[in-house]
Amino acid sequence: MESIIAEGLTKRFNTIIAVDHISFRIREGEVFGLLGPNGAGKTTTIRMLSCLIKPSEGFALVGGYDIIKESNKVREIVGVLTENPSLYERLTAYENLWFFAEAYGISDTNERDGRIRELLEFFDLWGRRGDKVGTFSRGMKQKLAIARALVHRPPIIFLDEPTAGLDPESAKEIRDLIGRLSKHEKCTILLCTHRLEDAEKLCSKVMIINKGKNIAIGSLEELARLVGKPTLQIGLLSINEKITDSLKALKEVKDVFIDPQLSRLILNLDDESSTPKIVKEVVHAGGMILSVNMVYPSLEEVYLKLIREGTA
């Protein structure tokens, strides 16, 4: 089942086209990454899907609701972390979540208090629940802002640059929490980011956009295949000419490279399905295999190549 369906989604601001006829689908429970440089149209896409602004063309269904005709329904079922989340810094962490729980109509005291405690404990903020938010670090504020977006148990969450401006340690902590969050809350997450590490570690599927246009969409493996074939890397106890010569004689092997520091062979293949035959040949030639890995181009390589081609 699909949580989000977008078809031809477009947004113009006077003569500027911020989002240009993009289409995509996000499955229920999926962590979907929206990647692109600053100004690519990522935030505008989230603002349309969360019904903060109306599209100029196209349509989208979020949780089965039309973002134009049923915008109030959409707002009820989504949680949104904006790029610059605002919290009430003179209130405590607990009071911030209490205020937004009330705003979302959670009037039952036991339900509200239980949910607030659950979130503060999940984000490791329970011990600071009585402290004013103005005393929090940037990373703690970001965790509280995500908790605020979750207070009404939305099945769909939009996270806009959740690790922006954080130091590496805080960014990793937020990233780890998001990974746990998708399992703990069993929700669909649309992650908008230009930090490739976030997408690589969290997303099952990614869409790369630039200047408002869809450049590519697919799983990390599918995107990697767009820019090059994977290499077969075989770690050995030792490498000798008998092994390399036997591999060079195989028609399935295009090139053989040796990494002497890691005692590793790097092979370019025509077809990945020939891997078992190649491994068998290495063993037959007397090779003592320590590891066998199929290595795909990194998301960074994929992203940079596709962005360059998309702007050429």
Averaged pLDDT for residues 281-310:
90
What rounded mean pLDDT belongs to the chain? Answer: 93
CATH top-level class for 2-225? alpha beta
Residue 30 and residue 214: Cα distance in Å, rounded?
Answer: 19
Nearest to 138 by CA among 97, 85, 192: 85
Per-residue confidence at 310, pLDDT binned at 50, 70, 90?
A: low
Residue 3 and residue 28: Cα distance in Å, rounded?
Answer: 5
Instruction: Give me the pLDDT at residue 156, please.
Output: 96
Instruction: Give me the pLDDT at residue 312, please.
Output: 42
E strand or H helix that includes residue 180: helix 168-184
Averaged pLDDT for residues 228-235:
89
Q: Tell me the domain boundaries of the chain.
A: 2-225, 229-296
Instruction: Give me the pLDDT at residue 311, please.
Output: 52
Residue 152 and residue 99: Cα distance in Å, rounded?
Answer: 12
Residue 188 and residue 200: Cα distance in Å, rounded?
Answer: 17
Q: Which neighbouring-strand residues pair with 255?
A: 268
pLDDT digits (tens, 9 = 90+) for 71-123: 999 999 999 998 877 899 999 999 999 999 999 999 899 999 999 999 999 99
CATH top-level class for 229-296? alpha beta
Lowest mean pLDDT among 92-106, 221-235, 275-289: 221-235
